[in-house]
Chain A
């Protein structure tokens, strides 16, 4: 299985930049997902990384280093609506199942 670690909570100021880290240990890495989840709602897909490097999508970017077992989600120009939980999920191909395992999530609080 995988061991996925993310900070429990982070706070940031509106308009600033925040980086949410995710580290993982897996024997058969096959991709990493980031999801956003507002309280009481469904997780929504943000990004997918399978190769090393940075993927940019508007205000959100995601970075992956497979050799370090490390990813981060970068949120720029923070808005109040970005206050949510951010879930890191790692896919492992061991055993032929490609179902992602989720970390506990990072609760981001954006304040004025």
Chain B
């Protein structure tokens, strides 16, 4: 089956620890994205990547880091510098970043920092 997978679905970490969220896609999409969703808020863009070995900051990149070493994978690290890391994190991909290309989302990871 083609799709986007994120793991784990629920993640708990202690304050001050870095944590890495996984995102894998087998859709052969060039572009991948990370969003954060908080209650009552829209999706906010953290980072995006249009091609392997390249990525750009989104609107709320502070306290996060990413890598794009393979086309299929776009892991997100939530560092201890992120002040409010508890949130629902969504990964998405699209064929490219051009007009009309639709984003497809993974099932999300709910991160809780204790």
B43 at the interface (CB under 8 A from A): yes
A30 touches B99 (CB 8 A): yes
A48 touches B43 (CB 8 A): no
B90 at the interface (CB under 8 A from A): yes
A104 touches B102 (CB 8 A): no
A108 at the interface (CB under 8 A from B): no
B104 at the interface (CB under 8 A from A): yes
* 16 A–B contacts from the bound complex (CB under 8 Å): A4-B42, A30-B99, A31-B99, A43-B43, A44-B105, A45-B104, A91-B99, A98-B98, A98-B99, A98-B101, A99-B33, A99-B58, A100-B103, A101-B45, A102-B43, A104-B42
On B, residues with C-beta under 8 Å from A are: 33, 35, 40-45, 48, 58, 88, 90, 97-108, 110
On A, residues with C-beta under 8 Å from B are: 4, 8, 30-31, 33, 40-45, 48, 50, 87, 89, 91, 93, 97-105
